[in-house]
A and B are shown apart, each in its own frame.
Chain A
Amino acid sequence: MGNGYRKSLNIRFHLDPRTKLLLLILFSVVVMIDVTDGPAYIVRAIMTYIPVVLVCLEGKPHVGARFTVLFILATWLMEITQENIGGIAGMLILFLCYMITQFAPTMIMVWYCISTTKISEFMAAMNRMRLPQGLAISIAVMMRFFPTLSEEYRSIRDAMRMRGIAFGGGKVTKMIEYRLVPLLFSCISIGDELSAAAVTRGLGTPVKRTNVCEIGFHSKDYVVIAVTLVLSILYIYLSV
């Protein structure tokens, strides 16, 4: 997640954060109902490509392409396994492919939403929807913290490799401990420093927060919402 996030602030196809939220909700409904063939499956496959198209519009076609290949590979492998491989091994492969086709669309959607939303836009959207500011701050910190976590994790992993303890001497508990404990240490210190910096700049002032950035629905928001909504309704209609 981290790497894509870091390079991705050149936002070209600007959607309102609320549009993204709506897309997430619609997608979660689609993930909840699972269908494996028939016309509903085709609708589902088309819907899967909505986030892919959005990602491509953001100027990251290689991410979209990677996902497409993965998705097709998983579907194809599933077919092959169904016909040729039996037993436990076959079942495990089948399960893996099944999970990928089930969850990958949501994952890429979530990745898209997080990586293209600025914190200030998000705060503005939460404000517009009259959600409590505390919740907005918590979620905003979370969004900001994912890339930090992956950065921290990477340097811990490097340090472990240098020390030759990447596998914790073969013990699972040690493997978890050596990763989690230093990670928590740096999270705590980063958290404290972040809080100090934020409160000295007035975060939490009991006045209405101003939002400088412009958010609002434009024609492209309506198009994306309309397409997704129609497909979702069609999908629910076909699968029930």
Chain B
Amino acid sequence: MIEIKNVTFHYSGLDQAGLSDFNLSVTDGECILLCGASGCGKTTVTRLINGLIPHFFKGELTGDVCVNGLDIKQQELYNLAGIVGSVFQNPRSQFFSVDTDGEVVFGPENIGLPKPEILTRKKQVVQELNLNDLLGRSLFDLSGGEKQKIACASVAALLPDIIILDEPSSNLDWAAIRDLRDAMQLWKSQGKTIIISEHRLWYLKDIIDRAVYMEKGRIVNEWTRQEFSQLTEKELKSYELRPVTLEERYIRQFSNVSKSGNENPADQRNLETGIDGDDLLCLTDFYFTYTPRKYLFVKKKLTPEDEEICDLRIPHLQIEKGKIVGVIGDNGSGKSTFLRCLCGLEKTCIGTVEVSGRTYHGRQLTKICYMVMQDVNHQLFTNSVLSEVLLSMEHPDEKAAEKILESLDLDEYKEKHPMALSGGQKHG
């Protein structure tokens, strides 16, 4: 039983939106979806319930939050550990151990349960979530989806009544999302209360009991499961929500493509298009592996002969100049690896790119390519948007830089700090 009454909250020191006069009550065993645009306060609500507000994130809090009869404000965070479990957005940063076994038992160890009890719980959780293959491995080796599974297991081992998920699918592909959905279904069948804040809606439509739509820290609308799955595309769009069904359709389509054999149909087509050589980028010999043969001093360059150990195998690919090409595939299918090699970031890849008669390889590729990476925070080096743009120009010219910003609708932010912008704006 969760009761949030007349809560108003502001993060101290940030103008980041909090909540204003927020009310929500959740009965035991209910599954609630919190949705809405970024910055609408979804995450803040989850933090109220797991106690991170006010104990971890400081700010002004008025109103009452009551979980299972406990007043959150009066409780220490560790008292809540056995009641509310939380799975967070970023799978990379939420594990404490370096090995999977240690991570699963981390919670129960902290609250000092007796050893046999912990081992029983571990066994049960491992069985329920199908984790046998993941035991005994280094967490640094796992994919995002596998890490998220371990995070779920670690939370479940504390046997909480309430489980909170804060955008858990952000870094996952559809297979991993399906596993996540299975885990949620299991928890639901065990009678746990689930609160999930999420952008992706399609995988949740059969699980949730109620969907809460938020805007600027308030609840604007509420739907039951039935109403929610019947929302039309148009209605969803007016709420700026992602489609409830559309994504699933695409996923079916593409999963069929990948099942149709190893040959990439797009590749074949390009080879046949007889377009004039000048308008093509020719990519040859892109081979790369993350697990090279053990070496003493120098990593050996990879050649087509090493094919069987390679994670990336693209002997030949042609791309039309000036076209936007999407590279799609499951997590771990080699999309990023391909792009990294294409940009010349992997030294052992011998791939070459031919553009209008000139051949580029290795380091030269970094000069003709640019990659916008997933984690934007690593790519910004200065303290204002304008100087960020100036930095990457060969001949710094403020006029030209301002023009670029204008074309990207960023000119009003030019003196702001890049890190203060939202995720989408940072990518600019």
A contacting B, Cβ–Cβ less than 8 Å: yes
Q: Are B77 and A210 in contact (CB under 8 A)?
A: no
* Contact mask for chain B residues 124-159; partner A; CB cutoff 8 A; 1 contact, 0 none: 000000000000111011000000000100110010
Alpha-carbon distance A193/B81, docked complex (angstroms): 16
Most chain B Cβ neighbours within 10 Å, of A65, A182, A202, A204: A202
Are the CB atoms of A182 and B102 closer together than 8 Å?
Answer: no
Q: Say yes or no: A181 contacts B366, CB within 8 Å.
A: no
A147 to B141 Cα, complex, angstroms: 11
Contact with B along A123-159 (1 / 0, CB 8 A): 0000000000000000011011001100110011011
> Residues 358-372 of chain B: 1 if any A CB is under 8 Å from the residue's CB, otherwise 0?
000000001101110
Which residue of the partner chain, among B99, B119, B155, B392, contacts A201 with CB atoms under 8 Å?
Answer: B155
B97 touches A201 (CB 8 A): no
Query: Are B114 and A165 interface neighbours, CB within 8 A?
Result: no
Could you tell me if B112 and A210 are in contact, using CB atoms closer than 8 angstroms?
yes
**A49 at interface, CB cutoff 8 A:** no
> Is the CB of B410 closer than 8 A to any CB of chain A?
no
Q: Is B381's CB under 8 angstroms from A185's CB?
A: no
B392 touches A163 (CB 8 A): yes
Q: Let me know if A210 and B94 touch, CB within 8 A.
A: no
In the complex, A239 Cα to B108 Cα: how many Å? 51
Shortest CB distance A95–B (Å) = 22
Whether A46 is near chain B, meaning CB under 8 Å from some CB there, is: no
From residue A211, how far is it (CB to closest CB) to chain B in Å?
A: 6
Q: Which of A1-58 contact B (CB under 8 A)?
A: 5-9
Q: Which of A120, A200, A205 contacts B84 (CB 8 A)?
A: A200
Q: A144-B98, A147-B140, A163-B391 are in contact. Are A200 and B86 (CB under 8 A)?
A: yes
Check B366–A210 contact: CB distance below 8 A: no
Q: Judging by beta carbons under 8 Å apart, are B94 and A197 in contact? A: yes
- Contact of A204 (CB < 8 Å), options: B78, B108, B138: B78
Query: Does A119 touch B at the CB level, under 8 Å?
Result: yes
Which A64-96 residues sit within 8 Å CB-CB of chain B? 65-66, 69
Task: State the 4 A-B residue pairs at the shortest beta-carbon distance, nearest first.
Answer: A202-B81, A197-B94, A207-B112, A120-B102
B93 interfacial contact with A, CB 8 Å: yes
A209 within 8 A of B: yes
Cβ-neighbour of A197 out of B93, B102, B377 (below 8 A): B93
B52 within 8 A of A: yes
Q: Is B295 an interface residue (CB 8 A)?
A: yes
Contact with A along B92-118 (1 / 0, CB 8 A): 111111110110011111111111001
Could you give 30 example pairs across A and B, Cβ below 8 Å? A6-B141, A62-B294, A120-B109, A144-B98, A152-B378, A158-B345, A158-B373, A159-B379, A161-B366, A163-B381, A164-B392, A165-B391, A177-B381, A182-B379, A185-B377, A193-B90, A197-B86, A197-B94, A200-B84, A201-B106, A201-B155, A202-B158, A203-B96, A205-B78, A205-B110, A207-B112, A209-B109, A210-B113, A212-B118, A213-B102
Q: Report chain A residues within 8 Å CB of B250.
A: none
The reply to whether A118 and B102 contact each other, CB–CB distance below 8 Å, is: yes
Residue in contact with B92 in the complex, picked from A163, A177, A190, A196, CB distance below 8 Å: A190
Chain A residue with Cβ nearest B392:
A163
Q: Is the CB of A197 within 8 A of B96?
A: yes
A74 to B161: give the CA distance in the assembly, Å.
Answer: 61
Tell me the smallest distance from the CB of A153 to a CB of chain B, in Å: 9
Option from A141, A190, A200 in Cβ contact (under 8 Å) with B52: A200
Q: Residue on B with the closest CB to A124? A: B109
Would you call A7 and B138 a contact (CB within 8 A)? yes
Q: How far, in angstroms, from A207 to B113 measured CA to CA in the complex?
A: 9
CA gap between A159 and B370 in the complex, in Å: 9
The chain B residue with its CB closest to the CB of A211 is B109
Assess whether B109 is in contact with A210, with CB atoms less than 8 Å apart: yes
Contact of A144 with B97 at beta-carbon distance under 8 Å, contacts A197-B86, A201-B155 already known: yes
A162/B111 in contact, CB under 8 A: no
User: Is B391 within 8 A of A62, CB to CB?
Assistant: no
Least distance between B47 CB and chain A CB atoms (Å) = 8
Does A170 sit within 8 A of B, measured CB to CB? Answer: no
A69–B155 Cα distance when bound, in Å, is 47
Residues of B near A207 (CB, < 8 A) are 111-112
- Tell me the B residues contacting A by CB distance below 8 Å: 50-52, 55-56, 77-78, 80-82, 84-86, 88, 90, 92-99, 101-102, 105-115, 118-119, 122, 136-138, 140-141, 151, 154-155, 158, 294-297, 340, 343, 345, 366-367, 369-371, 373, 375, 377-381, 391-392, 419
B residues near A190, Cβ cutoff 8 Å: 92-93
Smallest CB separation, A216 vs chain B (Å): 14
A193→B93 contact, CB < 8 A: yes
User: Min CB distance, B265 to chain A, in Å?
Assistant: 30
Q: Which of B77, B340, B369 has the most CB of A within 10 A?
A: B77
Decide if A62 touches B94 in the complex (CB within 8 Å): no
Determine if A111 is an interface residue (Cβ-Cβ < 8 Å).
no
CB neighbours (8 Å) of B379 from chain A are 159, 162-163, 182
Q: A66-B297, A200-B50, A202-B81 are in contact. Are A162 and B112 (CB under 8 A)?
A: no
Interface: A199 (CB within 8 A): yes
Could you tell me the distance in whole angstroms from the C-beta of B349 to the nearest C-beta in chain A? 14
Complex: A148 Cα to B378 Cα, angstroms = 14
Given contacts A119-B97, A159-B378, A162-B370, contact A65 B296 (CB under 8 A): yes
User: Which residues on the A side are within 8 Å of B366 (C-beta)?
Assistant: 161-162, 164
The distance in angstroms between the C-alpha atoms of A8 and B81, with both chains bound, is: 31
> Which chain A residues border B107 with CB–CB below 8 Å?
201-202
Partner of B81, one of A65, A185, A205, A210: A205
Q: Which of A163-216 contact B (CB under 8 A)?
A: 163-165, 177-178, 181-182, 185-186, 189-190, 193-213
Q: A189-B377, A202-B110, A205-B81 are in contact. List 10 more A-B contacts (CB 8 A).
A: A62-B295, A66-B296, A69-B297, A118-B97, A140-B96, A159-B379, A201-B85, A201-B110, A202-B111, A207-B111
Name the distance in Å between A132's Cβ and chain B's nearest Cβ: 16
A160 close to B (CB within 8 Å): yes
A199 to chain B, nearest CB (A): 5
Check B82 against A202 for contact (C-beta < 8 Å). Answer: yes
Beyond A118-B97, A158-B345, A164-B366, whether A69 also contacts B296 by CB under 8 A is yes
